[in-house]
A and B are shown apart, each in its own frame.
Chain A
Amino acid sequence: QQQVKQSPQSLIVQKGGISIINCAYENTAFDYFPWYQQFPGKGPALLIAIRPDVSEKKEGRFTISFNKSAKQFSLHIMDSQPGDSATYFCAASKNGANNLFFGTGTRLTVIP
Chain B
Amino acid sequence: GEEVAQTPKHLVRGEGQKAKLYCAPIKGHSYVFWYQQVLKNEFKFLISFQNENVFDETGMPKERFSAKCLPNSPCSLEIQATKLEDSAVYFCASSQGDTQYFGPGTRLTVL
Q: Which residues of A contact B (CB under 8 A)?
A: 32, 34, 36, 41-46, 49, 87, 89, 93, 95-102, 104-105
Contact = CB atoms under 8 A, between A and B. Distances in A.
14 contacts: A32-B98, A34-B98, A43-B102, A46-B100, A46-B101, A95-B98, A96-B31, A97-B31, A97-B50, A97-B55, A102-B43, A104-B40, A104-B42, A105-B42
B22 interface: no
Contacts of B99: 34, 46, 49, 96
Nearest to B95: A96
Nearest to A45: B102
B74 interface: no
Interface of B is mostly: strand
B56 A99 contact: yes
Given A46-B101, A100-B45, 20 more contacts: A34-B99, A42-B105, A43-B93, A43-B104, A43-B105, A44-B91, A46-B100, A87-B41, A89-B41, A89-B43, A96-B97, A97-B31, A97-B55, A100-B35, A100-B43, A101-B45, A102-B42, A104-B40, A105-B41, A105-B42
B91 A43 contact: yes
A44 B102 contact: yes
A98 B98 contact: no
A63 B41 CA distance: 23
Given A42-B104, A98-B56, A99-B48, A49 B98 contact: yes
B67 to A, nearest CB: 13
Interface of B: 4, 31, 33, 35, 40-43, 45, 48, 50, 55-56, 59, 91, 93, 95, 97-105
A89 B40 CA distance: 13
Contacts of B105: 42-43
Contacts of A87: 41
A100 B93 CA distance: 10
Contacts of B101: 46
B59 A99 contact: yes
B102 A99 contact: no
Contacts of A96: 31, 95, 97-99
